[in-house]
Amino acid sequence: MSPLGSVNPLSAAPPLTRIDAPLPKLGLNAPGAATATHTDGFGQVFDNLVSSVTARENASSAMTRKVLLGETDQLHQSVIARQEASVSFSLMVEVRNKLVESYQELMRMQA
């Protein structure tokens, strides 16, 4: 008798769903991150993104100032905050670049 004879390969498969069923929400937004609701327009979402980046930059600058003035010895937290601010800014610039690229593509399609 085969040792694989008792294993049912379909027992671990997830149940099938309809192709027109709504997609589940993934919940990928971090707490405090800019989130879009049905009432928010695109401008509001982008405004939230810019505000978030500005807040990270300000917090990073404040932490760096405290380290330089000797008010705290948590240099590692300051470096981490600076890197988070840098990554947030880079993300915002990339989003902006993609938006400009998409706009230019739409203008080319209309011409």
Give the pLDDT of residue 100.
94
* Tokens at 60, concatenated: 């990073």
- Determine whether 61 is exposed, middle or buried from the number of CB atoms within 10 Å of its CB (0-12, 13-18, 19+): middle
For the ranges 17-31, 43-57, 63-77, which has the lowest average pLDDT? 17-31
What phi and psi, each to the nearest 5 degrees, are found at residue 24? -75, 150
Give the pLDDT of residue 27.
47
Give the pLDDT of residue 48.
92
Q: Which residue has the higher pLDDT, 22 or 8?
A: 22
Q: Computed over its alpha carbons, how large is the radius of gyration of the chain?
A: 24
The secondary structure of 37-76 as a DSSP string is -TT--HHHHHHHHHHHHHHHHHHHHHHHHHHHHTS---HH
Contacts of 59 (CB under 8 A, 6+ apart): 81, 85
Query: Under a CB-based contact definition with an 8 Å cutoff, are residues 59 and 77 in contact?
Result: no
Give the pLDDT of residue 6.
56
